[in-house]
Structure 1
Amino acid sequence: MTEAELYSLYKGVYVPVLLHSPQSLKYCEDFRFRADDVLIVTYPKSGTTWMQEIVPLIMSGGDLASVETLHNWDRVPWLEENRACILNLEQRPSPRLFSTHFHYNMMPPGFFEVKPKVIYVMRNPKDVFTSSFHYYGMSSFLVNPGPQGEFLKKFLDGKVMFGSWFDHVKGWLNAEDKERIMYISYDEMIMDLKDCVSRIAQFLEKPLDSEVTEKIADRCLFKNMKQNNMSNYSAVPPELMDQTKSRFLRKGIAGDWKNQLTEAEVEQFDSVYKEKMKDVKYKFVWD
């Protein structure tokens, strides 16, 4: 099926119709934030599920029930997706935890008025592309990626769900109220998860002792998180996500793009990256 059949255009980017109804997008637009809300913001395939495991564990002081009793899409729901409308989020006690894939300039008015805390997770775009290629191939609600070269062109042009990775990252890096935003990368989490857990806890003003930090970091190692049926998307019907084609939580590594992209594709990617990111001062781990 084509983009016209599977996606709608919302604020200039594609969103999958199956997950984002006009009602859910309106719900997000009108959402009333609280100052102590915490938002996990990501471009798709950049570590959302991982952060949806880490943050509830930090907020609960390491209580495993926080990630073993609710599916990740209900424990840290996406504000723009259909389920947000039926979860009675207004009744949830503070601090509430949410996710979004929205670009900075797509955020609803209430976000800019209240200024809740944001954890913005970035990932090497070549790995985002690689993960996306497999994800699109197993998800019936996304346009089939087709040949890798064609999908790469779409990805670099931003003709994929939630638009351009480059625009997404640059928009959030240029956000106002940066003292309310923590920038962290998937790649940093791969390198030293315990340090990242500690830093996130400090940002959330939930300092943890060393033992609890270690416990959370161990629990959130990819190999361990993959076993959590509340996080590995095993409950999603195969007609929506065929995990015989590719696991939702696939490898959880940095640098898998080296196994995916051809030399010519790497050159193409690097050329576009250099041009699009030339004015960005932020020092990425993968640069």
Structure 2
Amino acid sequence: MSCYHWLASYPKSGNTWLRLALASLSKGGQNLDFRSSELFAPIACDRAAMDEVADVDSAALTLAEEEAARPAFFRLEAAWLGKPQLRKVHHAWTRTAAGEPLFPPDVTASAVYVIRDPRDVAISLAHHHGSSIDAAIAFMDDPAAMLAGGSGYGSPQLRQRLLTWSDHARSWLASPIQPLLVRFEDMLDTPADSLERVARHLRWNPSASAIAGAVEATRFDALQAQEERHGFRERTRAEVPFFRRGLAGGWRDSLTPAQRQRIEASHGEAMAMFGYL
């Protein structure tokens, strides 16, 4: 069955913000409670889910074996769950060594791809990882870049190929899944319109009041206040808030001219395609 709605993005591009808005929208625009244990649109690379559904010890697999098993796992999980599922994805759209799509079109209902100016992504990625901005820029330009790239033992997530920032975006947008493209900057400028576009693409039929409620519930200052009171499960560094600034164009006061030029030299072609140059 066509089960999955993939919510895909390069890391630190607005995926979590969109998922929280959809979580509120799914409940009619209710306020969020970060104390809740409910997982809305969990990540597609959850190791425990693969181990349970496919009855494997995925941590013992090589990267090639792990990736080869993913399409079969998604088909098994789709049959097991039997209803539409939203899944967060940071993995690039790739194929296994045998040529099979990692995210099988036959169990895909739809996909959304969230993109953000890579100059802002570099700053947010550096803060999130606790690295320098130069290191974040190099990571975004590395065709071998991965998340959870080490040994499977001790990692709650399966390994995720990112490719470069440009190739990540191109991989999804050129895929047969044909995702809806949503820009982080448009989510900031016209949040209600952007959320409605996504909801319609997911085949939801929300009311105007529910959309307005979800937009209000996920204002950046509201999310910051929730995180300050209750913490946030996706925060990786105790001393750095997950919801840090939420700005478009913050790179202007954070990048040196040399850093900006490095990003534009590496990704200028893709940046122009998406309106960032």
Aligned pairs, how many?
A: 234
Distance 1:231 1:36 in 2: 35
Relative distance call for 1:121 and 1:69 in structure 2 (3 A) is same
Q: Which residue number in structure 2 is paired with residue 270 of structure 1?
A: 264
* 1:169 aligned partner: 169
Q: Which residue of the partner structure matches residue 198 of structure 1?
A: 196
- The aligned runs of 1:1-287 (5 Å cut-off) are 34-64=1-31, 69-71=36-38, 74-85=39-50, 92=81, 94-106=83-95, 108-109=101-102, 111-137=104-130, 145=131, 147-158=132-143, 160-161=145-146, 162-178=162-178, 181-229=179-227, 234-235=232-233, 241-244=236-239, 246-274=240-268, 276-277=269-270, 282=273, 284-287=274-277
Local SS of the residue matching 2:112: strand
Q: CA deviation at 1:121?
A: 0.6
**In the aligned structure 1, how far is the partner of 2:50 from the partner of 2:229?**
21
Give the direction of change, closer, same or farther, for the CA distance of 1:235–1:113 in structure 2 (3 Å limit).
closer
1:104 match: secondary structure? coil
SS in 1 for 2:138: helix
- More divergent stretch after superposition (97-106 vs 148-157): 148-157
C-alpha change, 1:150 and 1:46, in structure 2 (3 Å) is closer
Structure 1 portions without partners, runs of 5+: 1-33, 138-144
* Distance (Å, rounded) in 2 between the aligned partners of 1:168 and 1:286: 16
Relative to structure 1, the CA distance from residue 106 to residue 43 in structure 2 (aligned partners, 3 Å threshold; closer, same or farther) is farther
One-letter code aligned to 2:124: S
Q: Would the alpha carbon gap of residues 46 and 232 (structure 1) be closer, same or farther in structure 2, given more than 3 Å must change?
A: farther
State which drifts further: 83-92 or 253-262.
83-92
Shift of the 80–43 alpha-carbon distance from structure 1 to 2, 3 Å rule, reads same
1:159 Cα deviation from its structure 2 partner: 5.3
Question: What is the letter of the counterpart of residue 254 of structure 1?
Answer: A
Q: Is the 8 A contact 1:158 1:164 kept in 2?
A: yes
CA contact (8 A) 1:154 1:160 kept: yes
Query: 1:193: how far off?
Result: 0.6
1:150 to 1:117, Cα distance in 2 relative to 1, 3 A? closer
Report the CA distance between 1:83 and its aligned residue.
Answer: 4.4
Identity of aligned residues (%): 21
Q: Is the 8 A contact 2:42 2:88 kept in 1?
A: yes
Q: CA distance change for structure 1 residues 205 and 112 in 2, over 3 Å: closer, same or farther?
A: closer
Structure 1 pair 229/85, CA: closer, same or farther in 2 (3 Å)? farther
Return closer, same or farther for 1:267/1:104 CA change in 2, 3 Å cut-off: same
- 3-state DSSP of counterpart to 2:104: helix
Q: Cα distance, 1:272 vs. partner?
A: 1.7
> How far apart in 1 are the matches of 2:28 and 2:41?
16
**Any unmatched runs of 5+ in structure 2?**
54-76, 147-161
Return the alpha-carbon distance in structure 1 between the equivalents of residues 141 and 258 of structure 2.
Answer: 14
Q: 1:110 to 1:214 in 2, by over 3 A?
A: closer
| Alpha-carbon contact 1:225-1:232 (below 8 Å) kept | no
Q: Report the CA distance shift for 1:86/1:212 in structure 2 as closer, same or farther (over 3 A).
A: farther
Q: Which string of whole-angstrom CA distances, capped at 9 and with x for unpartnered residues, describes residues 119-170 of structure 1?
A: 1111111111110011110xxxxxxx3x433442343234543231111001
**8 Å contact 2:33–2:226 — kept in the other structure?**
no
Q: Is the 8 A contact 1:68 1:230 kept in 2?
A: no
Between the aligned partners of 2:196 and 2:144, the Cα distance in structure 1 is: 37
Partner Cα separation in structure 2 for residue 231 and residue 166 of structure 1: 37
Query: 1:79/1:45 Cα in 2 relative to 1: closer, same or farther (>3 Å)?
Result: same
2: distance between equivalents of 1:198 and 1:235?
26
Per-residue deviation, 1:37: 2.5
Letter in 1 for 2:46: E
TM-score scaled by length of structure 1: 0.70
Aligned to 1:141: none
